A and B are shown apart, each in its own frame.
Chain A
Amino acid sequence: MSRDNILKTIRQNKPEFTPLPKYLEVTDPKPRRELLEIFEKSLNQVGAEFIELSLNEEIDSYLSFHFPEVHQIGKNGFRDEYSANCSKEKLDQIDTIILEGHLGVAENGAIWLDDSDFPNRLVPFVAQMVIISLDSAKILSNMTEAYHKLNMAGTGFGVFISGPSKTADIEQSLVYGAHGPKSLLVVIY
């Protein structure tokens, strides 16, 4: 059987055991404001737009003013409408979607989302535009800190999203909206 043969050859051939390295200190005691600034700089770099809003009401009125037709998780029965069994054709019609991010990473503008944030996994990829709201207290310095916070063993599907879908496959010219969202707006509160 291939499995056993492969494992047998590995056992015979593997080098002498070497330990894992000692990792660098992971916690970065930067003040919140500074982390936010680095995060916003990263968002700029990866082609995401962002806006800082303070109160919950402000977010609601901003979004309903600018995106009156937008789908929002937890509102208007979105979860039922776009459930795991929803047809692909219907999902394909989603124009703009607002999601809530779990945490943000200052060094690269990545925001973590997982199965608990959308009823159907295709949602954040198939939408033409994605808006992610994020609590500024949940911005961490780097990927090491971020993975420490996440429970990978309990995540069926999870993704770090950093900016809108992009490609530079034609002569290295950067184009947004290769397949997924053409733009990403991060609402930081």
Chain B
Amino acid sequence: MIGHSEKAAQFLKDENRADWHDQTLWMVRQKRDRAAWSVPEWEDLREEASQIKNHALSNLDNYLLQFEEKVIGNGATIHWASDAQEFNDLILRIIQKNGAKKIVKSKSMLTEECGLNPFLEKNGLEVVDTDLGERIIQFRNEPPSHIVLPAIHLKKEEIGELFEEKLKTAKGNSDPQYLTAAARSHLREKFLAADVAITGVNFAIADTGTVVVCTNEGNADMGVHAAKIQIHCMGIEKIIPGTNELAVFTRMLARSATGQPITTYTSHYREPKAGGQMHVVIVDNGRSKLLGNETYRNSLKCIRCGACMNTCPVYRRSGGHSYNYVIPGPIGSILGPDSDINKFKDLPFVSTLCGSCTNVCPVKINIHDLLYDWRQEISEKKLLPLSKRYLMKITGIVLAHNTVYNLSGKVARWAIRNLSGELIYHRINVWGRERELPEVPRESFKQWYRKNTLERRSVNEQG
């Protein structure tokens, strides 16, 4: 399989696009900052959110049972699925039992994770993703490149051409207003014709059996209220105790995600509509196992806001598709290896460990620590490619021994000054690509420090 670095290299070939991607996501990050700073108690909220999630995970079985009881009492149906296969079968059964053919879906990373769309399509059903960004990538047969902004890797001209082909829009018109209007009328037809609406879940409230879904477009509601059957799909970790907790999260989610004070629609579904059916599907798919892992269980606190992606210097400059895993960016680089360590062993190394992700995370997941932990584990398991393993070994020796370290510093300073560029920017040295080495100082920091402190000390003593 092609790893992150190869895919990132492809992404970077189009320099303009890569710059645009970088700057646009940085703009979203800045909007997040402004939104967070507008709430004086922001840091307290982060602490509360973190503790709420810790608490909910520590009492998860009881909350799920309480939730189940309420959902049933509300006249809705609850289902449980251990893995992706069972989940997909279960959804198919609900659809087939009702003789339904047309399905509209609003955004749900869980259904992406389980591969629901291709599964339903294989069974002869029409599944239409209704979030504009999701519809765009569905037309292109691509996975989302971001969990909140699924089509952020595309330029409007590409979307214009795509809509020209799929929706018969005017040739050469790539005005976002115009294209959105075209999608609006196309999707309205789909909403009105749908038999079943599937949504993800942002929060599930244990003490009332309510599921909460947040969208800006209103597509979850258009689908849910127009179709006879509504199906809400949630991972087990979406449970929170009650509305006190919901208040904390609705204050943080959109501010962290896009810098809005709240999403346009925060919808609370508790009972089915008159004459309709409401199904809630609880999915495990590896989560209960992850809960038992003391190191990585923190990643289950994630509320999928995307802030860690927007801030990540590597994500911004390599694009979501480079990660291969369904959830890209820093948090995906923790969840990916958990789902399949061999397939995603390179992801924890796709980070500078700068810690920016940890700083913005609304539920205070120690993301960069967990990435570091994965690196340790992957190195110990000897899953790294040979070149990286030897390099790390040598680095380890150098850093551990004072004389070796001093000597190698001297050699490096001499080498960079005196060797030809050809040698330094050699193909084997991937770090030489796209990088100019800085001018090297004559002395090492250690030498400089010794000299300066000694000099200063003597000045002080004299003075």
Contact = CB atoms under 8 A, between A and B. Distances in A.
Contact of B222 (A18, A24, A180): A180
Interface residues of A, number: 73
Interface in B177-212: 177, 179-181, 183-184, 187-188, 191-192, 205, 207-208, 210
A175 B212 CA distance: 24
Contacts of B192: 88-89, 92
B262 A178 contact: no
Contacts of B242: 152
Contacts of B289: 9, 13
B132 A142 contact: no
A167 B180 contact: yes
Interface in B58-102: 58-61, 64-65, 80-82, 86
Contact of A12 (B54, B260, B292): B292
A179 B217 CA distance: 6
A24 B41 contact: yes
B262 A6 contact: no
B271 interface: yes
Q: For chain A, what secondary structure do more than half of its interface residues adopt (helix, strand, loop), or is it mixed?
A: loop
A55 interface: no
B33 to A, nearest CB: 15
B221 A156 contact: no
B59 A14 contact: yes
B262 A160 contact: yes
Interface stretch (A29-37, A63-71, A105-113): A105-113
Contacts of A76: none
B28 A172 contact: yes
B58 to A, nearest CB: 5
Contacts of A7: 61, 64-65
Interface residues of B, number: 96
A180 B217 contact: yes
B274 A85 contact: yes
Contacts of B261: 42, 45-46, 107-109, 162
A156 B267 CA distance: 11
B339 interface: no
A23 B244 CA distance: 8
B243 A169 contact: no
A60 interface: no
Interface in A8-51: 9-21, 23-24, 42, 45-46
Contact of B243 (A110, A142, A147, A179): A147
Contacts of B181: 177
B58 A17 contact: yes
A170 B263 CA distance: 18
B42 to A, nearest CB: 11
Contacts of A92: 188, 192
B150 interface: yes
Interface in A87-122: 88-89, 92, 105, 107-110, 120-122
B58 A85 contact: no
A179 B64 CA distance: 33
B12 interface: no
Given A165-B264, A179-B222, A171 B251 contact: no
Interface string B262-276: 111111111101110
A14 B57 contact: yes
Contact of B264 (A9, A20, A122, A161): A161
Nearest to B48: A21
A85 B266 CA distance: 24
A10 B60 contact: yes
Interface of A: 1-3, 5-7, 9-21, 23-24, 42, 45-46, 84-85, 88-89, 92, 105, 107-110, 120-122, 125-126, 142-144, 146-148, 150, 152-153, 155-173, 175, 177-181
